[in-house]
Amino acid sequence: MAAGAIVAVLVGGAPPGTAATQPPPPPSPTAPCDALSPIAIPCTLLGKTADAVAAECRRAGVPDERCTVPLAHKVTQAARDAYLKSWVHQAAEFQYALGGSLPLRDAQWIGTHNSFNSPSDSLTLSHEDSNQQLTLTQQLDIDVRALELDLHWIPRLERLGQRAVTVCHGESPSEADLGCTNEPLFSTVLPKIADWLDGHSDQVILLYLEDQMQKPAAYASTIATLDTVLRRPDGSSMIYRPDPSKRAANGCTPLPLGVSRDQVRASGAQVILVGSCAPGWSADVFDWNADHVESGSTSAYQPYPACDATYDASVYATKLVRYFEDSTLVANLLDPTRPPADPNALTPAKVQSMTDCGVNLFGFDQLLPEDGRIQATVWSWAPDEPRVDGGGCTLQRADGRWVAAPCADRHPAACRSGSTWTVTAPVPYAAAAAACASSGSTFALPRSGDQNAALQAVAGTSGGASPGAGGAWLRYRITS
């Protein structure tokens, strides 16, 4: 969806001036077990077994509605189809387009952790201890735009012991790639992503390749697969390649955080590849080690503006900030006293706080379209907005969410100068630009969750159409 227009709207939802409340997330599938166990391990083990049984049921061709197993996640194509008709999907598309002009350091990505590790893909040892339930294609369908693939260089039975690049959730080469068995080859996984991109030519994804290879032959094979598979039928490459002139002393090119998704798309590319520095693949893969952080405290995360004391404002302003979770049995075994309710889980409430604070990249586990976490990344439109009968102009309510409003109404205008937001006295929408200009600033539109939260902090307590109403006009006209 283009950022300049809303082309599909739903009716209903919360009226302007009320808080945009989120429905509670569905209960954990292992909730009946969790109520009986003081630690997570037993219920996680039962849940993984149930997920594997349900996945095999679906793989056998049984209708997915009939593959509901107690303690297993409920995975249905109907949920995916319903999501594609929802206001959450429309808002996620809108926000993705709205952030297209932002530098990568400021743009938000909905992502998954160990995206490949799903029993829905194939029956393997590591997939049974899954991080995901959906396939890669299904994840992309529900607005995931950042994927993670772990690459190993292991002997393959079908190749008579010859090594090949394999996508696997296992240990490092120093630990003999423990856990990797019959997982799929990189050359069979990557086409699933390429096929989806070929049908969605306006989309750009961030693809994190976790390096567990460390052999020159492995990098050469990886590059050959990337260059062959991430190519369109007309022969053009989908890869946004590093500029050799920007290569650092370590032989790799740092991720250019000042580039935007729009610029990537304008170059003809759709895939930004990131990983650790390895000169063997540096022709395709950006080194992001110095450009991102991912060791913050999820359990201690607080609502805006407190956020996470691990990182100060300068980190958010200069790096990609990533938070991920790990729902595997292995992770629980490493923390055997962990309670069933994981304090490091990315719950909808945590996700909303992180979105307001400017977290760029989420690594969700077990993401399903109806579990509330994608909805928690929505910081712009209120549920089922903009209404067809609401008006042609956009108003940020006092709670920070956006609604359609009659342009003749009088509200403060949202003004921006540098990174500072201010608001004017109430004016009709037509006078908003002039009102901001009179104070030396520009009538503006938030393009990220943290920008929206910063404006709300200023406008939410200002005088609006009625005393104490708060809110502000945003520089966005609604078209149908």
pLDDT at position 127, please? 86
Measured distance CA(115)–CA(128) in Å, rounded: 14
What is the average per-residue pLDDT within 260-270?
A: 98
pLDDT at position 121, please? 80
Per-residue pLDDT band at 208 (split at 50, 70, 90) = very high
Would the pLDDT of 462 be above 70? no
pLDDT at position 445, please? 98
Measured distance CA(21)–CA(383) in Å, rounded: 9
pLDDT at position 25, please? 76
Would the pLDDT of 1 be above 50? no
Those residues whose C-beta lies under 8 Å from the C-beta of residue 337, and which sit 6 or more positions away, are 39
Q: Give pLDDT tens digits for 99-152.
A: 999 999 999 999 999 999 999 887 788 888 999 999 999 999 999 999 999 999
Q: Given the structure tokens 């100060």, which residue do they identify?
A: 312
**From-to residues of CATH 3.20.20.190 in the chain:** 80-375
Q: Give pLDDT tens digits for 401-444.
A: 999 999 999 999 999 999 999 999 999 999 999 999 999 999 99
Per-residue pLDDT band at 9 (split at 50, 70, 90) = very low
What is the average per-residue pLDDT within 356-382?
A: 97
Percentage of the chain lying above the pLDDT 70 cut: 93
Closest CA to 420 of 394, 396, 444, 448: 444
Would the pLDDT of 19 be above 60? no
pTM, to two decimals: 0.93
Q: Give pLDDT tens digits for 274-301.
A: 999 999 999 999 999 999 999 899 999 9
What is the average per-residue pLDDT within 31-56?
A: 96
pLDDT at position 126, please? 83
**Which CATH superfamily does the domain covering 80-375 fall into?**
Phosphatidylinositol (PI) phosphodiesterase (3.20.20.190)
Per-residue pLDDT band at 22 (split at 50, 70, 90) = low
Measured distance CA(273)–CA(204) in Å, rounded: 11
Measured distance CA(271)–CA(261) in Å, rounded: 10
